[in-house]
Amino acid sequence: MVRQPRPPLNGDMPDNLPVLTRPADTKMLAGVCAGVARRLGVEPTVVRVAAVLAAVFLGGLGVVAYLAGIALMPKDGQQTMPVRRWLPFTRSWPTPAVIAAVFAVCAVLLYAGGFSGVGIGPAVIIFAIWFFGFRKRQPRHSAHHPSEPTPFERASAAWRVRLAEQQTPGFENPGMFSATTAALPPMPPAQPAAFEQRWEQPYTDPQRDLAVTDNPAPEVRSHPHRPRGRWSGWLTALALAAVGTAAVRLLGRVDALPYVAAVLTAFGLALVISSRRHRPPLLLPATLIAAIATISLMLPVPAGTVGDLDAAYASGTDLPSRIAYSAGDVRLDLSGLTLTKDQTVTVDVGVGQVDLTLPKNVRSQLVWSVGAGEYSDPGTPSVSGAGISGSLGTDAPADAPTLTINLKVGIGEVKVTE
Amino acid sequence: MSRDRAAFGFGLAAMLLGGVGLWSSFGDVDWGFVRAAAPVALIVIGAGMVLLSRHHH
């Protein structure tokens, strides 16, 4: 029987690993984008533009990915990752570990080199890519520890020896095909024309060549089985959570964030403790849910509307106590405001810009905070960054009432004028 | 002894995030420090998981 090679998966790409290689004919720099484009079946220009956009607008992710591609993608005709040739000690590493290490080193080098664009986003993406894309769970206790080669391995090794012998110039194959070639003259020395003929006659005696039926076939799993932990591990997690929430209660907090954060910390500690054996079932998803809850409570989106507000208030009775917008621009003109008593207004904007004109005839006290963005007022230079806050007071007649303005913007800009 | 790498890495990350949550509950978070330390911490955790993978094999 003549075994035909499998057709390539995509054009001239080899169908064996690694599937991504760097072409030499269409490359611009190192050929990473050209290799990805060839694999995806798109124009290289599209991938190059995407890489540039990712480098500029995604905090240097394109640069990190390109450097990692140079280290991980072999050139056409090669089978070994370049990083394995550059650093021979990585040849014993599993492939996912090499990929994760290359991405991590690229990110650290760029970050240490002052490339400010590399922030938490690319790090999270790299972490997610490794965990969800390349991590391979390994069985802790394999049920099959072969102390000697399996029948298939023995047959494979013997077959490689036969092929090597056939490719040896001058090899006349005295014993291998004796049953079928006894009546034939000895094979002539190796010639190019005869090379392919030798490859086309691999199975001459199936009963002998494929005699691997002395043991049952090893079990084949598409996903290696990970031993499950015990539910009793939840006792540790719940005990730690109870201690944490009790401590928060003793400190007198009533809002939800410290309790959820305490539970998250407890679950995280329980995961680390259980990592020496096997994590309890569902503890990791529960931890992820607690993490999402913590993040949502730390970065609250104020309940409100989406849109723009352009309002001027002249009387304290017209001024609402709370102005909340989830997203939008708020222009608040209080320059003509008059009050008969002290009053407080809260302005809460999730994402957007706030232009605030302070009152002239009313003493005002502005307490502001911006989660991420910029603040400016006539008396101080512009301040930008994450988690910025401050206060501003204005003078007025001594007997004038006071307007307290609590201004909070999640992401955006605050401009205060007088 | 081999570790459950996913539990180890996610556990450390959860502890860090929970710590930031408690910090924001009981004090004023230095978000500049968090912004600089978070990616470094994630990379360190990832490197630790890689080292565990290597040791495992």
Residue B33 in contact with partner chain A when CB distance is under 8 A: no
Tell me, what's the pLDDT at A60? 66
Give the model's confidence band at A127: pLDDT under 50 very low, under 70 low, under 90 confident, else very high: low
Alpha-carbon distance A277 to nearest alpha carbon in chain B (angstroms): 7
Q: Which residue has the higher pLDDT, A332 or A149?
A: A332
Q: Find where tokens 């190019």 sit.
A: A192
What are the residues whose beta carbons fall under 8 Å from the beta carbon of A347, sequence distance 6 or more?
A322, A323, A324, A330, A332, A354, A356, A405, A406, A407, A408
**For residue A63, what pLDDT is reported?**
76
Q: Which residues contact A364 (CB under 8 A, 6 or more apart)?
A: A334, A358, A393, A394, A396, A402, A403, A404, A405
Query: Using a CB-CB distance cutoff of 8 angstroms, which residues of chain B are in contact with residue A142?
Result: none
For B12, which of A126, A272, A274 is closest by C-beta distance? A272
pLDDT of residue A243: 92
Closest of A273, A211, A275 to residue A240, by C-alpha: A273
Picking from B3, B22, B33 by the largest number of A CB atoms within 10 A of its own CB, the best residue to mutate is B22
SS3 state of residue A368:
strand
Longest CA–CA span in chain A (Å) reads: 124
What residues of B are in contact with residue A122 (Cβ under 8 Å)? 39
Does A91 score more than 70 pLDDT?
Answer: yes
Distance (Å, whole) CA A393 – CA A389: 14
Is residue A330's pLDDT more than 80?
yes
pLDDT in tens, A253-279: 778 889 999 999 999 999 999 888 778
**Beta pairing partners, A323:** A347
Check CB contact under 8 Å for A104 and B18: no
Q: Per residue in A145-179, is it b (16+ CB within 10 Å) or e — as a string?
A: eeeeeebeeeeeeeeeebeeebeeeeeeeeebbee
The answer to whether residue A280 scores a pLDDT higher than 60 is yes
**Nearest Cα to Cα of residue A198 among A223, A176, A229, A216:** A176
Residue B37, chain A, CB below 8 Å: the answer is: no
Instruction: Report residue A145's pLDDT band, with 50, 70 and 90 as the boundaries.
Output: very low
pLDDT of residue B13: 92
Distance from CA of A361 to the nearest CA of B (A): 34
Quick one: average pLDDT of A175-202? 49
Taking CA atoms, A362 is separated from A127, A153, A330, A391, in Å, by 53, 89, 21, 16
Residue A140 pLDDT class (50, 70, 90 cuts): very low
Probe site for chain A from B20, B29, B43, B52 (most A CB atoms < 10 A):
B43
Chain B: residue whose CA lies nearest to A275: B4
pLDDT digits (tens, 9 = 90+) for A38-62: 888 777 777 887 777 776 666 667 7
Q: Which residues of A touch B54 (CB under 8 A)?
A: 93-94, 97
* A194-206 pLDDT tens trace: 444 445 455 566 6
Chain-wide mean pLDDT for chain A?
74
The CA–CA distances, whole Å, from A121 to A357, A379, B40 equal: 36, 35, 12
pLDDT of residue A402: 85
Residue given tokens 């056409």 in the structure block: A76
Supply A152's token pair: 């298939």
Q: Do B30 and A387 touch (CB under 8 A)?
A: yes
Q: pLDDT band at A136, cuts 50/70/90?
A: low
- Give the up-direction half-sphere exposure of residue A42: CA atoms within 13 A in the CB hemisphere: 11
Residue B27 to chain A, least CA–CA distance (Å): 11
Buried b / exposed e over A65-74, threshold 16 CB at 10 Å, is bbbbbbbbbb
Which residues from B are below 8 Å from A253, CB to CB? 25-26
pLDDT, position A267? 93
Mean pLDDT, range A164-183, rounded to an integer: 58
Cα gap A199→A180, rounded to integer Å? 16
Of B18, B30, B54, the CB nearest to A294: B18
Least confident among A57-61, A86-90, A153-157:
A57-61
Q: State mean pLDDT over B8-19.
A: 92
Q: Are A334 and A355 in contact (CB under 8 A)?
A: no
* Contact indicator for A270, A240 with CB cutoff of 8 Å: yes
Write down the pLDDT at residue B16.
94
In three-state secondary structure terms, A167 is: helix
Q: Nearest-CA distance from A388 to chain B in Å? A: 9
A4 has pLDDT over 50: no
Q: Which residues of A touch B55 (CB under 8 A)?
A: none
At residue A221, does pLDDT exceed 60?
no
Residue with tokens 């394995």: A84
Cβ–Cβ gap A298/B24 under 8 Å:
yes
Mean pLDDT score, B26-48: 86
* A318-345 average pLDDT score: 86
Is residue B36 within 8 angstroms of chain A, CB to CB? no
**How many CB atoms neighbour CB A34 within 10 A?**
23
Question: What DSSP letter does each residue of A388-416 carry, written as one string?
Answer: EEEEEE----TTS-EEEEEEEEEEEEEEE
For residue B12, give the DSSP letter: H
Higher pLDDT: A24 or A117? It is A24
Q: Which of A108, A262, A271 sits opposite B22 (nearest CB)?
A: A262
What's the pLDDT score for residue A269? 93
Q: Least CA distance to A287: which residue of chain B?
A: B14
B10:A268 CB<8 A: yes
What is the distance in angstroms between the CA of the first residue and the CA of the last residue of chain B?
11
Q: What number of CA atoms fall less than 13 Å from residue A411's CA on the CB side?
A: 6
Tell whether B44 lies on the interface with A, counting CB pairs under 8 A: no
Per CB-CB distance under 8 Å, the chain B contacts of A267 are: 11, 14
Residue B43 burial class via C-beta count within 10 angstroms: exposed 0-12, middle 13-18, buried 19 and up: buried
pLDDT beyond 70 at A359:
yes
